[in-house]
Amino acid sequence: MFDLQTMKLFFAMLALVTNVVVLGYLGATAARRWWQPANAIRGRFRAAVAGYELALAALVAGTATLGSLYLSEIAHLTPCRMCWLQRFLMYPSALVLAVAAWRRYQRVRVPVMIAAATGGTISMYHYLIQWFPSLESSGTCSITVPCTTAWFRVFGFISIPYMALSGFSFVLLMMTVLRANRIEPS
């Protein structure tokens, strides 16, 4: 029913949606000093997600978790060592965020941010070495499943580490907005 081509496109579109949200918020944050409507845009966004930050982060982390499981267990794309590191950081975050959203427990913000920042950094490096394999000198990758291999590139640039980076970035944004909404309600 759901073939690999359809699922790759679906996951790529989800990554792009999270990119638009994250880059839009970051752009509005950067422009707020010299472009007055940017403050209003940020405020409307913060008000729209207020109270749902944990649930939205859990939704994205859960989707990333299920997506990675689909790619390895159903589509049979073998994860490399860096993929496993990213999974190690995303999977527990999905569970922790889901429980925190259900219990309305906001104190998970800092540990989740640390996991997302670490996972995002690994994702960035992984994405970079897919484009520039000569940069991989750490010996992290194996010969049988090299980290430099991109299983696919949707739209010519979206690979699995790019999707992971998009998920980690969105989780980081939601945790940042959660803190901002707690300190200074929109």
- Residue 154: beta bridge partners? 158
Model confidence pLDDT, tens digit, residues 161-182: 999 999 999 999 999 999 998 8
Q: Where are the alpha helices (DSSP H) in 32-71?
A: 37-49, 53-69
CA-CA distances (angstroms) from residue 171 to 7, 81, 84, 132? 22, 22, 19, 27
Model confidence pLDDT, tens digit, residues 43-81: 999 999 999 999 999 999 999 999 999 999 999 999 999
**HEC assignment per residue over 67-129:** HHHHHHHHCCCCCCHHHHHHHHHHHHHHHHHHHHHHHCCHHHHHHHHHHHHHHHHHHHHHHHH
Neighbours of 98 (CB within 10 A): 17
At residue 91, the pLDDT reads 98
Mean pLDDT of the chain: 93
As a whole number of angstroms, the distance between CA 22 and CA 166 comes to 9
Domain residue ranges in the chain: 4-183
For residue 137, name the pLDDT band (cuts at 50, 70, 90).
Answer: confident
Q: What is the dihedral of CA 174, 178, 184, 186, to 10 degrees?
A: 60
% the chain with pLDDT above 70: 96
Predicted structure pTM score: 0.93
